[in-house]
């Protein structure tokens, strides 16, 4: 150890430094290293628990997302069914309205045909009456004013003739 003195190293001082260093290591281990290791272990445990909690939350979120997707699909299906029913109801109502319109049009047509027939019969009756009047007037002119013509009998004969002529056509 004397060989270290020329280099400027004091062996007694070096032993004192070595004892101080070992004592420092012992004290650091006793008061600092164990609490730091304990704190790190606790922190590692909290991180592990947080990771497990995050994994659990992620799984719950996945389940909720799956349920949401299922509910959304059900809602879509329900809305499509409702739209289909509405379309069917609309189509049925359209068909009912068209049928009603056709029925009304047929009634109007029938009424118009009946009205035309009534007017035709009135026109025929009016025309028969006018023909009868003309025939009576013509008979007066041909036979003369002096011959007394039974006007009522003449009209009856002319009406009968016109009815028979109308039945033939």
Question: Each residue of 73-83: b (16+ CB within 10 Å) or e?
Answer: eeeeeeeeeee
Kindly tell me if the per-residue pLDDT of 146 is higher than 70. Answer: no
> What is the mean pLDDT of the segment spanning 4-8?
75
Q: Which residue has the higher pLDDT, 146 or 111?
A: 111
Confidence of residue 166 (pLDDT cuts 50, 70, 90): low
> What is the mean pLDDT of the segment spanning 128-147?
71
Kindly tell me if the per-residue pLDDT of 21 is higher than 50. Answer: yes
Query: Do 131 and 158 touch, CB atoms closer than 8 A?
Result: yes
Query: Do 155 and 140 touch, CB atoms closer than 8 A?
Result: no
Compute the distance between CA of residue 77 and CA of residue 64 in angstroms, rounded to an integer.
20
Using one digit for the tens of pLDDT, what is the confidence trace for 79-137?
Answer: 999 999 999 999 999 999 999 999 999 999 999 999 999 998 888 888 877 877 777 77
Q: State the average pLDDT for the chain.
A: 86
Instruction: Spell out the residues 6+ positions from residue 64 whose beta carbon is closer than 8 angstroms to its own.
Output: none
Query: Do 127 and 117 touch, CB atoms closer than 8 A?
Result: no
Q: Which residue has the higher pLDDT, 150 or 68?
A: 68
What is the distance of C-alpha 12 from the center of its chain? 99
Q: What are the boundaries of each domain within the chain?
A: 2-168
Report the pLDDT value the prediction gives residue 105, as an integer from 0 to 100. Answer: 94
Report the pLDDT value the prediction gives residue 43, as an integer from 0 to 100. Answer: 96
pTM: 0.41
> What is the mean pLDDT of the segment spanning 52-78?
95
Annotate 100-128 with three-state secondary structure. Answer: HHHHHHHHHHHHHHHHHHHHHHHHHHHHH
């Amino acid at each position: 150890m004397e060989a270290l003195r020329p280099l400027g190293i004091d062996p007694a001082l070096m032993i004192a430094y070595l004892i101080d260093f070992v004592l420092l290591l012992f004290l650091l281990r006793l008061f600092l290293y164990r609490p730091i290791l304990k704190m790190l272990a606790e922190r590692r445990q909290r991180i592990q628990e947080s990771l497990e909690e995050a994994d659990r939350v992620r799984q719950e979120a996945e389940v909720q997302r799956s349920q949401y997707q299922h509910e959304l699909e059900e809602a879509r299906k329900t809305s499509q069914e409702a739209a289909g029913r509405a379309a069917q109801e609309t189509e049925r109502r359209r068909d009912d309205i068209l049928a009603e319109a056709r029925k009304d049009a047929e009634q109007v047509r029938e009424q118009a045909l009946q009205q035309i027939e009534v007017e035709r019969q009135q026109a025929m009756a009016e025309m028969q009456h006018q023909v009868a009047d003309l025939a009576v007037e013509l008979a007066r002119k041909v036979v003369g004013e002096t011959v007394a013509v039974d006007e009522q009998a003449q009209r009856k004969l002319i009406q009968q003739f016109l009815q028979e002529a109308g039945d033939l056509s």
